[in-house]
Chains A and B, each alone.
Chain A
């Protein structure tokens, strides 16, 4: 079999990773928000037995790969993957699978991370046409398990605490568990220093009297993060942004990147070339963001 036009078109859609072994590819399947049904998992296992060598491997972006698929079977596998309601994961200069932590069920989760990832996937995957790849990551709280700061755009769940002074007994638990020492107890009352607070919600969770309450939730926004040979943390550009505003911020960021970026350049380099303040003005303008 030769590389005919159909096969080349299939390859261009992405999700086929050439192995170093001649004629073999690893098939990359996208798993939205890291969740896959048991039935789909069974079918993927069957595909690994039928087309690969009977095993699967997991990617850093929560996807699944079936290695050792011969190139003559690529179109066939792709069709089978789509038949079970899954899709190939893109590679190349486009939106990559969105990584979210388990914040939907994790006790620390401050936002519905997997619901958000699904929503963003529906809306933005696999948008092509960027100078380079475009990665998005979501963590549900400041524990940062999914490292949103290493994505082109990353979101981290936050909560702003508010004290009901009538309920506070000054027991000091919140001050004790606060990792950034933002809380002190004075005159038997907890006091929070907003400049130190990272909005993790530990005080709310630990308070035995329910004196600490959630005032509002939101996300911190990080932009320009990347890994690779030249890695860096994303710029922390906003706190406590309403979750509803996320799609708008992503869209503006994508437009900025598409219109200002040059080929092979990641968002980080584009921002540095144009200037962080200019970027922020364009993205956060009209957003009334902290």
Chain B
């Protein structure tokens, strides 16, 4: 699972809610459906809200890695949940 190849990467550890999700959203909008975004975020509030908000908008979380440094990295497939319905 850790071998997922991302098409784009964004680090949102330098911003706080609600900019965290906004930055991730803008980044994923630049991709084509099916492409994969890698997002690095802080634990706590961002990890609580950003993945669920991405899911709400139809993107699929492929993997979650705890970096053990207070941050997480997630891999998101654009529109991945829309394929399934």
A107 at the interface (CB under 8 A from B): yes
| Residues A107 and B43 in contact, CB atoms below 8 Å apart | no
Q: For residue B72, which residues in chain A have a CB less than 8 angstroms away from its CB? A: 173
B55 at the interface (CB under 8 A from A): yes
Chain A 172-211 interface residues, beta-carbon cutoff 8 Å to B: 172-173, 176-177, 202, 205-206, 208-210
**Closest A-B pairs by Cβ, 10 of them:** A208-B61, A171-B64, A205-B52, A177-B48, A208-B64, A208-B51, A173-B64, A206-B52, A206-B48, A172-B66
Q: For residue A210, which residues in chain B have a CB less than 8 angstroms away from its CB? A: 55
CA distance A110 to B62 in the complex (A): 26
How many residues on the A side are at the interface (Cβ–Cβ under 8 A)? 13
| Residues B52 and A209 in contact, CB atoms below 8 Å apart | no
CA distance A97 to B43 in the complex (A): 40
How many residues on the B side are at the interface (Cβ–Cβ under 8 A)? 17
Chain B, 44-68, contact with A by CB distance < 8 Å: what is the 0/1 string? 0001110111011000011110100
B74 at the interface (CB under 8 A from A): yes
- Checking B1, B47, B62, B63 against A206 with a beta-carbon cut-off of 8 angstroms, the contacting residue is B47
CA distance A49 to B68 in the complex (A): 60
Given contacts A171-B64, A172-B66, A173-B64, contact A206 B43 (CB under 8 A): no
| Residues A206 and B66 in contact, CB atoms below 8 Å apart | no
Output the nearest chain A residue to B52 by Cβ-Cβ distance: A205
Chain A nearest CB, measured from B23 CB (Å): 18
| Residues B47 and A177 in contact, CB atoms below 8 Å apart | yes
CA distance A202 to B47 in the complex (A): 11
Chain B nearest CB, measured from A184 CB (Å): 14
CA distance A205 to B51 in the complex (A): 8
CA distance A206 to B63 in the complex (A): 13
Chain A nearest CB, measured from B42 CB (Å): 11
Q: For residue A107, which residues in chain B have a CB less than 8 angstroms away from its CB? A: 49, 52-53, 56
Chain B nearest CB, measured from A154 CB (Å): 25
Chain B nearest CB, measured from A271 CB (Å): 37
CA distance A209 to B62 in the complex (A): 8
List 17 A-B pairs, Cβ < 8 Å: A107-B49, A107-B52, A169-B1, A171-B66, A172-B66, A173-B47, A173-B64, A176-B47, A176-B66, A177-B48, A202-B48, A206-B48, A206-B52, A208-B51, A208-B55, A208-B63, A208-B64
Output the nearest chain A residue to B74 by Cβ-Cβ distance: A208
Q: For residue A205, which residues in chain B have a CB less than 8 angstroms away from its CB? A: 48, 52
CA distance A205 to B53 in the complex (A): 9
Q: For residue A209, which residues in chain B have a CB less than 8 angstroms away from its CB? A: 61
